[in-house]
Amino acid sequence: MRILVIGDIFGRPGRVAVQRVLPQLRADRGIDFVVANGENAAGGRGMSLATLRPLFTAGVDVITSGNHVWDQRAMLEEIETEPRILRPLNLPPGVPGRGYWSDGRVLVANAMGRLFMRAIDCPFRGLDALLARQPLPPVRIVDFHADATSEKTAMGWHLAGRVSVVFGTHSHVPTADARLLPGGTAYVSDVGMTGPRDSVIGLDPQRAIAGFITGLPSRLQVARGPAVFRALLVDVDASTGQAQRVERVEDVVEITGDTEE
Q: Given the DSSP bridges, would you call strands 2-6 and 33-37 parallel, antiparallel or unpaired?
A: parallel
Any idea what the Cα angle at residue 41 is, between residues 39 and 42, rounded to 5°?
A: 110
Q: 3-state class of 169 per DSSP?
A: strand
- Rounded Cα gap, residues 107 and 137, in angstroms: 6
Q: Which of 101, 112, 92, 184 is nearest to 155 (CA)?
A: 112
Number of Cα atoms under 13 Å in the Cβ half of residue 116: 10
Instruction: Return the active site residues.
Output: 68
- Rounded Cα gap, residues 86 and 218, in angstroms: 30
Q: Kindly report the number of other CB atoms within 10 A of residue 102's CB atom.
A: 16
